[in-house]
């Protein structure tokens, strides 16, 4: 890969929660696990696809995101039910176009069709990092308040607000699936439900 590019395997589970959901204490969810102090960040992501949503149909995500620790271009490719390969590229300038080297990664699915912005998600995220006794990050639990928008009329650059919701994502960092399952059990006991949508984008597109 060129300098500035990176790749990782992302394993996460998503949960639907309502606005009154009380996030449970995750300290001790498995032996020796502690929850660090919550940190809040604001994220804004523009998603790209073809007019007929070729990427969404293939469960592929292509976005440009600002804010947070991993701002940049992201391409997510499915591996299994809750695991994806995620490719990261530098943020670059906001031009409204997908850089050629990134578009080439999904050319197999777009088949020459133009990529355009199809959605925008703004997220207020509260992250709780789960640590082992040595301070190593095992997983991250993100409490997300999301506003989703779709493109406005063709003759404007505006976005039309379409939906708002709250959800929780739990992503493994160096922990095991046993930890992922234990966190999920505690979230469900507090009232969370496994998400009915595979991603934020799919939830917005179906709204």
The pLDDT of residue 153 is 62
The pLDDT of residue 1 is 45
Tell me what percent of the residues of the chain surpass a pLDDT of 70.
Answer: 96
pLDDT band at 193 (very low <50, low <70, confident <90, very high): very high
- pLDDT tens string 154-180: 555 688 988 999 999 999 999 999 999
Exposed/middle/buried for residue 155 (C-beta within 10 Å: 0-12, 13-18, 19+): exposed
**Considering only CA atoms, which of 192, 172, 173, 176 is closest in space to residue 184?**
192
The pLDDT of residue 94 is 81
The pLDDT of residue 149 is 95
Least confident of 6-15, 104-113, 147-156, 195-204: 147-156
- pLDDT tens string 134-153: 999 999 999 999 999 999 86
Domain boundaries, the chain: 6-154+162-205
Tell me what percent of the residues of the chain surpass a pLDDT of 90.
Answer: 83
Residue tagged 């997300």 (tokens):
144
| Pairing status of strand 159-172 against strand 193-194 | unpaired
The pLDDT of residue 154 is 59
Exposed/middle/buried for residue 64 (C-beta within 10 Å: 0-12, 13-18, 19+): buried
pTM across the whole model = 0.90
Least confident of 10-19, 90-99, 111-120: 90-99
State how far the Cα of 90 lies from the Cα of 106, in Å rounded to an integer: 17
Does position 37 have pLDDT exceeding 80, yes or no? yes
The top-scoring range by mean pLDDT among 66-70, 96-100, 128-132 is 128-132
CA angle in degrees (0–180, nearest 5) for 34-40-44? 130
CATH 2.30.110.10 at 6-154+162-205, yes or no? no
């Amino acid at each position: 890969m060129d300098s500035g590019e990176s790749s990782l395997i992302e394993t996460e589970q998503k949960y639907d929660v309502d606005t009154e959901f009380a996030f449970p204490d995750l300290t001790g969810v498995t032996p020796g696990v502690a929850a660090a102090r919550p940190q809040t960040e604001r994220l804004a992501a523009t998603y790209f696809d073809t007019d007929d949503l070729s990427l969404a149909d293939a469960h592929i995500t292509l976005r440009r995101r600002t804010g947070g620790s991993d701002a940049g271009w992201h391409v997510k490719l499915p591996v299994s039910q809750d695991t994806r390969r995620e490719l990261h590229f530098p943020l670059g300038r906001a031009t409204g176009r997908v850089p050629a080297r990134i578009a080439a990664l999904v050319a197999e699915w777009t088949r020459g069709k133009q990529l355009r912005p199809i959605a925008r998600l703004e997220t207020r995220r509260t992250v709780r990092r789960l640590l082992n006794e040595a301070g190593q990050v095992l997983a991250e639990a993100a409490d997300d308040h999301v506003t989703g928008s779709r493109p406005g009329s063709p003759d404007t650059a505006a976005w039309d607000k379409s939906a708002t919701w709250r959800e929780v994502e739990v992503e493994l960092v160096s922990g095991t699936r046993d930890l992922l399952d234990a966190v999920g059990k505690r979230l469900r006991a507090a009232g969370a439900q496994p998400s009915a949508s595979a991603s934020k984008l799919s939830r917005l597109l179906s709204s």
